[in-house]
Amino acid sequence: MKMKLFKLIIMTALSSLTMQSFAQNPLESLRNMFASETVSMQCDYETELNGTLVVGHSDVVVQNSMYSMQGNGLEVYCNGKTMWTIDESSYEVVIEPCSAQDMDYLANPVLLLIDIDKLFRQSSRRNLVNGKVEYVFDAVADSGVTKAILVLKSDGTVDRGTFILEDGNEFTVQVTSMKKTEEKPASFFSPQRKFGSDWVVTDLR
C-alpha cells in the first residue's frame, strides 16, 4: 500500500507540472521544454485513505522520459526503461518496466507529459482573487486520473492542484517550488546501490 500510494503521489505531482505548462499553451512548447530542459519541483501533498489523513513532501526531478523522486522514506527512479521503487526502511525494492510502449500512466507518469493533449480537455476556467485562475480538466482517455482542478498564479506557476483518481481517491498537491535546473547524467535516474541478500527484491521485468 505504501509503494502504491507513493506512485500515485508521483503521478499527481508530475500531473501538476504538466497541467501548468498545458494551461500556458501552446502544447508544442510543453513537449519542447521537457525534451530539452531538466525541471525540479518540490511539493506538499495530502490525501485521505480509509478515513486516515496522509500528508507528505516530495522532491521531483524530470528530464526527458527520466525522473527521480524522494519523499517520506521512499525513493523512485526511472531511467526511461526501468523503474525502481525503494523502501529503505523495510529493505524492499520493486523493479518494473517503464517504457513508452507500455503506455501505463500509473507506472510511468512522465508519459502524461507526452500525451497531455490526448488525455485531458479543459472544461472550465474562472478567475479567483489575487490574480489566480482556476482551471478544470476532464479526462478524455484512460490515465488513472479522471479530473484535475488547478489553481495557477498570475505568473503562470502552479499554486495547488486537486486530482480525482479512478478509484475515488482525491489528492491535493501544493507546489512550493518549480524551476529549470542543470542537466543531470543518465546515472542520476538509476539507483546507485547494490541490493544484497538482506533486501526483498521484486523484479517484474
Q: How sure is the predictor about 155, in pLDDT bands with cuts at 50, 70 and 90? A: low
Nearest of 121, 111, 108, 132 to residue 22 by alpha carbon: 121
Could you tell me which residues are beta bridge partners of residue 121?
Answer: 138
Residue 191: how many CA atoms within 13 Å on its side-chain side? Answer: 18
pLDDT at 33: 60
Q: How many CB atoms lie within 10 A of CB 23?
A: 17
Residue 174 amino acid letter = Q
- Mean pLDDT of the residues in the chain: 76
Q: Rounded to two decimals, what is the model's pTM?
A: 0.73
- Tens-place pLDDT, residues 26-63: 334 445 565 678 888 888 888 776 777 878 888 888 88
pLDDT at 24: 46
